[in-house]
């Protein structure tokens, strides 16, 4: 192998490599950009082209690229101890330290214990298993079902995928797990009910309650949702929705799981998405920003209510029969500590709020100029531009239509790395993004829309 030979890399990309969420055939003619290095909010490909990274890797590089503190922490940890497990009989200092740190920063949510994994799908899987075991320990083993939302994304392991609320993520792998139910969440731009946010929250809350009553509350373990839906198209619920979810969970004695894989660690403009809504979940799933993508890491946090089930002498086994070889991997945990330190020290949640607000203002100016922009929405530095064929009817571009790709490719060719999800342009840059960076993106987007009129 000569991986420094660009022609070789391009030729071999698809020979043995399966890319997530893509038809292998389509990759033969559409070579993805081969990213080789990163610095700050910029990335560079193997041909030396430099891009502003509007994707933040994949919603994850919150602190930006090339942060020496993280590199040093990883290097020191590897030299001292490359690996030791948390399985019975051993532990390691980095895992202990990171668990303390996570509990410290989630004190307002009342979290007390941490279970580590390697990615968002692990974090969700752990949350689902903890919720089921919690109810068994409580002597209510009938409570095993999960309710999630349409457009929700919870990773692609069987449990999380079964909670996903979109056909594209599910259909090739059915049958999925029994006991997973989806209901309508409040999507202001696209719903069959109303354009009034408060009315929509009330309708969606009622649909949730009806589903709980039809299933029987005594069968529901937890509601799982994202504080802001990410992969579903950056769907920001009205501010009253999450407080309503908390009320409903309490009313029916159901746990509330916040899937904070994207929203956690600052992206939504507060340190945690649920905190931004003033809500304390029972279980929190963290990944991505927890290590800023430098190494694989995730964490599932539980509050005292959930943890207390393991403190009693239960008839049911209280062994936590879950975890991975790499749960609490010392190198991942060392990176996590360094990454979180940067997020806190540089107040990146606040920067995401301020720069995100400015970004949306500037994007609304573009909406005034370009007809294909149907909606601009987001919170903090997670934003979507939804492209439509007709603003009145809101008819979206379908998965096989070229227009959204023409826009994103135009941006990439002008030095802005931008990803589409069907008809949505997704914006989730490092949280170190500045207003000057935003101005640069706006200029490129403007030029690209002018060059591709609809
Ligand atoms: N939950 C949410 C909300 C996510 O956005 C994602 C990934 N985008 C996941 C879970 C799964 O994370 P991973 O891809 O790291 O397994």
Cα 112 to Cα 130: distance, rounded to the nearest angstrom: 14
373's tokens = 């922009």
197-202, Cβ contacts within 8 angstroms, sequence gap of 24 or more: 197/238, 197/240, 198/238, 198/240, 200/238, 201/237, 201/238, 201/240, 201/241, 201/244
Task: Note the pLDDT of residue 411.
Answer: 98
The single-letter DSSP state of residue 37 is E
Residues 221/131, Cβ–Cβ less than 8 Å: yes
Contact residues for 254 (Cβ-Cβ < 8 A; gap 6+): 143, 147, 212, 217, 220, 221, 222, 223, 248
Q: Return the domain boundaries, the chain.
A: 33-63+347-451, 70-345
Q: Contact 281/258 with Cβ under 8 angstroms?
A: yes
Q: How many CB atoms lie within 10 A of CB 367?
A: 16
Ligand 1 centroid distance, CA of 230 (Å): 9
Q: Give the per-residue pLDDT at 335.
A: 98
Q: Which residues does ligand 1 sit against, CB inside 6 Å?
A: 119-121, 124, 153-155, 226, 230-231, 259, 261-262, 287
Report pLDDT digits (tens) over 164-189.
999 999 999 999 999 999 999 999 99
- Per-residue model confidence (pLDDT) at position 312: 84
Mutate to test the pocket of ligand 1, among 20, 21, 123, 155 (most ligand atoms within 8 A of CB): 155
Q: Do domains 33-63+347-451 and 70-345 have the same CATH topology?
A: no
What distance, in Å, lies between the first and last C-alpha atoms of the chain?
45
For residue 284, how far is its CA from the centre of ligand 1 (angstroms)? 13
- Cα–ligand 1 centroid distance for 315 (angstroms): 35
Ligand 1 centroid to Cα of residue 20, in Å, is 12
The CATH class that applies to domain 33-63+347-451 reads alpha beta
Helix axes 93-105, 330-345, angle to 10 degrees: 30
Distances 417 to 46, 202, 231, 286, 356 between C-alpha atoms, Å: 14, 38, 17, 25, 17
Q: How far apart are CA 379 and CA 236, in angstroms?
A: 7
**Of 284, 439, 453, nearest to 358 (Cα)?**
439
Query: Ligand 1 mean position to 63 CA, how many Å?
Result: 18
Q: Which residues of the chain have pLDDT under 70?
A: 1-4, 314-315
State if pTM tops 0.85. Answer: yes
pLDDT in tens, 101-129: 999 999 999 999 999 999 999 999 999 99
Query: Which of 21, 117, 121, 122 is the best mutation target for the ligand 1 pocket, counting ligand atoms within 8 Å of the beta carbon and taking the most?
Result: 121
Give the class (CATH, top level) of 70-345.
alpha beta
Which pLDDT belongs to residue 1? 46
The DSSP output letter for 364 is H
């Amino acid at each position: 192998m000569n991986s420094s030979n660009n022609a070789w890399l391009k030729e071999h990309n698809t020979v043995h490599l399966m890319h997530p969420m893509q038809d292998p055939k389509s990759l033969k003619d559409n070579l993805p950009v081969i990213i080789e290095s990163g610095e700050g909010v910029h990335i560079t490909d193997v041909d030396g082209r430099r891009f502003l990274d509007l994707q933040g890797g994949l919603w994850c590089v919150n602190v930006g690229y090339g942060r020496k503190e993280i590199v040093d922490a990883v290097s020191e940890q590897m030299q001292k101890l490359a690996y030791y497990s948390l399985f019975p009989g051993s532990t390691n200092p980095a895992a202990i330290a990171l668990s303390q740190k996570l509990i410290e920063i989630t004190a307002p949510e009342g979290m007390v214990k941490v279970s580590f994994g390697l990615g968002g799908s692990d974090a969700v899987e752990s949350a689902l298993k903890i919720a089921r075991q919690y109810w068994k320990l409580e002597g209510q083993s009938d409570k095993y079902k999960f309710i999630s939302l349409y457009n929700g994304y919870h990773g692609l392991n069987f449990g999380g995928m079964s909670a996903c609320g979109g056909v594209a993520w599910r259909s090739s792998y059915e049958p999925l797990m029994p006991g997973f139910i989806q209901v309508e969440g409040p999507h202001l731009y696209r719903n069959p009910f109303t354009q009034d946010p408060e009315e929509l929250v009330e309708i969606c809350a009622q649909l949730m309650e009806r589903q709980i009553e039809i299933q029987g509350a005594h069968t529901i373990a937890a509601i799982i949702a994202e504080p802001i839906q990410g992969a579903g198209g950056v769907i920001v619920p009205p501010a009253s929705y999450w407080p309503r979810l908390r009320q409903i969970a309490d009313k029916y004695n159901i746990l509330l799981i916040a899937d904070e894989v994207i929203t956690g660690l600052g992206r939504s403009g507060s340190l945690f998405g649920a905190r931004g809504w003033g809500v304390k979940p029972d279980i929190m799933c963290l990944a991505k920003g927890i290590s800023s993508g430098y190494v694989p890491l995730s964490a599932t946090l539980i509050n005292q209510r959930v943890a207390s089930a393991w403190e009693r002498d239960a008839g049911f086994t209280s062994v936590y029969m879950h975890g991975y070889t790499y749960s609490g991997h010392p190198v991942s945990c060392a990176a996590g500590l360094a990454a979180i330190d940067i997020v806190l020290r540089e107040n990146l949640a606040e920067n995401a709020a301020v720069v995100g607000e400015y970004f949306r203002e500037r994007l609304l100016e573009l909406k005034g100029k370009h007809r294909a922009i149907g909606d601009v929405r987001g919170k903090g530095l997670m934003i979507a531009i939804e492209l439509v064929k007709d603003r009145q009817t809101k008819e979206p571009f379908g998965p096989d239509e070229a227009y959204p790709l023409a826009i994103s490719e135009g941006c990439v060719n002008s030095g802005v790395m931008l990803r589409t999800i069907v008809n949505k342009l997704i914006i989730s840059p490092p949280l170190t993004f500045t207003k000057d960076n935003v101005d640069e993106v706006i200029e490129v987007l403007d030029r690209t829309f002018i060059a591709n009129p609809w």
